[in-house]
Amino acid sequence: MKLYTLTLNEARNLLQKKEITSTELTRAVLDRIRETDDGIGAYLTVTEEKALKAAEKADLRIAAGTAAPLTGIPLAVKDVLCTRGIRTTCGSKILENFIPPYNAMVIERILEEDGVILGKTNMDEFAMGSSNEHSAFKLCRNPWDRTRIPGGSSGGSAAAVAADMCIGALGTDTGGSIRQPASHCGVVGLKPTYGRVSRYGLVAFASSLDQIGPLAKSVPDAALLMNLIAGHDPRDSTSVPEPVPDYSGFLEEGLQGLRVGIPREYFEIQGLDPDVEKAVRGAIETIEKLGAVQVPVSLPNTKYVVAVYYVIAPCEASSNLARYDGVRYGFRNDSGAGLLPMYCSTRSKGFGPEVQRRIIIGTYSLSAGYYDAYYGKASQVRTLIREDFNNALKGCDAILAPVAPSPAFPIGEKTDDPLNMYLSDIFTLSANLAGIPGISVPCGFSGEGLPIGLQILGRHFDEGILLKIAYNYEKATDYSLKKPEISPGK
């Protein structure tokens, strides 16, 4: 048995039975990274020495009989989460050598349970992108086809899970950045309700949209990771003091009595790939056979989602990224010509073109005379989008839809066409604008053998229902069991 192929729950059971050690498991995954990642680029930083020390500590805890659910499990974390003593770059040159003095809340939770952090995964710079082509350091490739994108911005985490270079991973989702790469890489990705997981220690892109969530090999693994990271944190003013259920307890068989909404507008989008529509409709039929009832629903403001998101997110990014000025920390480019030239030079050379584009859009939208016309109007339409979901979910328990309009597209296909790139998020953006949870679960393959995901959306704090539907669907199919064929090396 190759230990790196284990799911999180499988690894946990073997560790608890003392049939394997965390040190053995961690070494196997580190060897897998060493053999495979040169050709994929999923990691920006691998912390081998720290990981092996953490594994040794975990083994002592397991031997003492005091192990927690995630004790000894090797995990990857997106490089937008602060890790004390470990470089945190956000995929940007401006933070190339930044080492945080503190841990994000989710990192604290991993360490409290003596989980093993393998390293930091590749990402679009400051989480701004849909393809992982905007990393300042290296390209990340899709394990199913290395000429294709893995999705973004959590493409590194999704690729690491798909290629068995970790047992599970954490990513962040601002407009689909967990669900879309999960779909493209054939893994499970869950975006929790806004406020369900603390954003303390998450380097901000768009503060009203960002949310941390798990990427995993199976739905039960995603549930276990949610048990770890969910909960109130007084250090995050947007963290909601809502009771946290045992998400694993929702993984029961049968969907009898559940009503699933099918949004008409999502299947009328121009450019929806026939393979995607076929796979998603097939998944809907399977879920109906498992006992659920289809209900037609309408989300009439779907046509405004991309425009609204690409005003609100850049406005918040413009504000959040103002702190990177070359004065306090991070990259500085100083010619000695004065403060203002140093600001300009630092930000021009430290930020990549996509980040600069969004800062410019956001700053313009927030400028005097334009605030009401752009940001104010977008905020009003955002409220309408939220009301669309509230109304639709009154008549059903969850909504089923595609994750992305197409399977993973070729590297370089959309980098010169930002609008076309932005449209690839059309099915995922609305969940962030509305603050609702969403999950992607593998539901088929394209004619070229590329994974396709089914998106399940639900009411605020209804992650358990989404996990239940996804679990029943996963058990009824074998798509989550399929693995990409990966040869070592480049």
Whichever domain contains 72, its CATH number is 3.90.1300.10
Residue that terminates a domain, selected from 325, 359, 379: 379
Same domain, 230 and 321: no
Predicted pLDDT at 490: 52
Confidence band for 488, pLDDT divided at 50, 70 and 90: low
Asked if the model's pLDDT at residue 207 lies above 80, the reply is yes
Label residue 20 by pLDDT band (50, 70, 90).
very high
Q: What is the pLDDT of residue 329?
A: 85
In a shared domain, residues 215 and 330: no
287 is a domain residue: no
Strand order across the beta sheet in which 259-263 lies: 43-46, 116-121, 74-78, 168-172, 212-216, 188-191, 438-445, 451-458, 398-402, 259-263, 293-297
Same domain assignment for residues 329 and 199: no
Pair of tokens at residue 243: 């009771």
- What is the average pLDDT across 230-237? 98
Q: Is the dihedral of CA 392, 398, 403, 406 positive or negative?
A: negative
Same-domain pairing of 249 and 313: no
Question: Model confidence at 335, in pLDDT bands (50, 70, 90)?
Answer: confident
Residues 224 and 332 in one domain: no
My answer on whether 194 and 116 are in the same domain is yes
In a domain, 281, yes or no: no
Name, in order, each residue with C-beta under 8 angstroms of 391's C-beta and a sequence gap of 6 or more: none
Instruction: Pick the last residue of a domain from 220, 238, 255.
Output: 255
Catalytic residue list:
78, 153, 177
Same domain, 327 and 227: no
Q: Which of 356, 379, 402 is the last residue of a domain?
A: 379
pLDDT above 70 for 467 = yes
- The reported pLDDT for the residue numbered 219 is 98
Q: Are residues 233 and 332 in the same domain?
A: no
**How much is the mean pLDDT over the chain?**
96
106 assigned to some structural domain: yes
182 lies in some domain: yes
Residue 150 resides in a domain: yes
On whether both 183 and 240 belong to a single domain, the answer is: yes
Judge whether 308 lies within some domain: yes
Residues above pLDDT 70, as percent of the chain: 99
148 and 73 assigned to the same domain: yes
Average pLDDT over residues 297-321: 97
In the chain, pLDDT over 90 holds for what percent of residues? 95
Whether residue 314 lies inside any domain: the answer is yes
Name the β-bridge partners of 401: 455
In this structure, the answer to whether residues 169 and 317 fall within a common structural domain is no
Residue 269 falls inside a structural domain:
no
Task: Provide the domain limits for residue 318.
Answer: 303-379
Quick: pLDDT tens for 376-413: 999 999 999 999 999 999 999 999 999 999 999 999 99
What does pTM read for this prediction?
Answer: 0.97
Mean pLDDT in residue range 276-282: 98
**Structural domains of the chain, count:** 2
311 and 243 belong to one structural domain: no
